[in-house]
Amino acid sequence: MSIIDNLQSMLARGQDSALLRYGLGNEYLKAGEPAPAAEHLAAALRQDPDYSAAWKLYGKALEALGEYAPALAAFDQGIATAERKGDLQAAKEMRVFRKRAEKASAS
């Protein structure tokens, strides 16, 4: 049984949480499946809009789907959230990802 299967099983048992959805999004992104990753990361952010790491991965998933405007918006929201929480490293990383997404959208 894969990690995704285990996490999906937990979700099916009603153990839904921002952390579980983040884990699913992360695993789907690592597996090269950005569409379900984006869905789970969006769910994580609905549950916890202050989850900086989820904003970062959500932006990356949207970028992988070629949805550059929403990806840039996600990175902007993530940067603002991270800065408000004092999570400066996450904000710094998202600025780098945002620049890459901006360049990719221009080409």
Query: How many CB atoms neighbour CB 61 within 10 A?
Result: 27
For range 18-41, the mean pLDDT: 98
Residue 8 has pLDDT above 90, yes or no: yes
Residue 107 has pLDDT above 90, yes or no: no
CATH number, domain of 84, equals 1.25.40.10
Average pLDDT, the chain: 97
How many residues are there in the chain?
107
Residue 43 has pLDDT above 90, yes or no: yes
Structural domains counted in the chain: 1
Rounded Cα distance, 67 and 71, in Å: 6
pLDDT at 75: 98
pLDDT at 63: 97
100: buried, middle or exposed (CB in 10 Å: 19+, 13-18, 0-12)? Answer: middle
CB within 8 Å of 42: residues ≥ 6 apart = 58
What range does the domain containing 40 cover? 3-106
pLDDT tens profile 44-88: 999 999 999 999 999 999 999 999 999 999 999 999 999 999 999
Residue 1 has pLDDT above 90, yes or no: no
pLDDT tens profile 76-95: 999 999 999 999 999 999 99
